[in-house]
Structure 1
């Protein structure tokens, strides 16, 4: 089986977290095989890092803040963060090994592997990329922020500022983002982003 030498880091998920640390939306990007509940826990585990960085960085007066690498979960998954001036948090989970080759990729084999070929392909796997430069994810974060601003400019979208406790106590509607246009834009961003891209 031919290795996919063009595989590089790819986005596995994009999470939008509200100012009350409530998840507003999480987009998943196949074929990354991560359970949606595990991904939610992973993104929630970044919230303490957002709070810590915000308390340590009182001198930054910019409208948005690129927090860079929040945590590396293992040699494969890393979480990067960005916070707006309204305390909306964006988390991008990057799979450092990239998307595995699929059947539409001419460099991947269409026939099943024999046990010997499977062993050889595992032995010859490319190593994971050890990290990204700070600037690599900025175009993706800027594109996510632009999509979020466009969502806020929509007169028919009403963001819910209630806290999760108020929602639980009064049975109010969850403030999750359901805009198809916004979700489609996040899907586009996640699919087109590659390290070194100037704009998304």
Structure 2
């Protein structure tokens, strides 16, 4: 019996000024970019509402369920950068290696922690790059310096890491 297993539909990185730094869709040809950008920005109010009640834990868990199929989970870094993962509950066809997870109903918040940790590691590696300047991606700095162009992250290594994380994640995975 092969069913469908949840998969990551979108990974969004939102800057400390609530600007989108990076949005990846999986698979990109089946997703509407503008729809997911709206979904990601709709999470900002939820982050703000929960922020005063958070202590040390950066995992914001389930932010919102869009419908029966899409659910959005959030993670906040120490620098105020927000990671949002949109999970498609009917994401992809189950394979033989997914047989254990194909019978699962729903997700636990802990199922996404390995993906968030891997995303945070990829972001830290991006920040360690001496040629990457995070202030270039701030709308405040870009407007003050009258820079024209994208404030999105364009690092190929970072984009490849995000894709690897999305492709490798399945519910129940312990490390990515």
TM-score by length of 1: 0.76
Q: Describe how 1:81-100 pairs up with structure 2 within 5 A.
A: 81-100=74-93
Whichever structure has more helix as a proportion of its residues is: 2
Separation of aligned partners in 2, 1:162 and 1:36 = 20
Separation of aligned partners in 1, 2:117 and 2:159 = 16
Change (3 A) 1:31 1:153: closer
Residue number in structure 2 paired with 1:137: 112
Residue number in structure 1 paired with 2:48: 51
TM-score by length of 2: 0.86
Is 1:197–2:173 an aligned residue pair?
Answer: yes
Whichever structure has more strand as a proportion of its residues is: 2
Separation of aligned partners in 1, 2:48 and 2:105 = 26
Tell me by how many angstroms 1:99 deviates: 1.7
Unaligned runs of at least 5 residues, structure 2: 96-103
Is 1:175–2:170 an aligned residue pair?
Answer: no
Q: Contact (CA 8 Å) 1:75, 1:130: kept in 2 or not?
A: no
Structure label with greater radius of gyration: 1
Residue number in structure 2 paired with 1:110: none
Residue number in structure 2 paired with 1:68: 61
Q: Contact (CA 8 Å) 1:12, 1:32: kept in 2 or not?
A: no
- RMSD value over aligned CA atoms? 2.6
SS in 2 for 1:99: strand
- The number of residues matched between the two structures is 170
Residue number in structure 1 paired with 2:9: 12
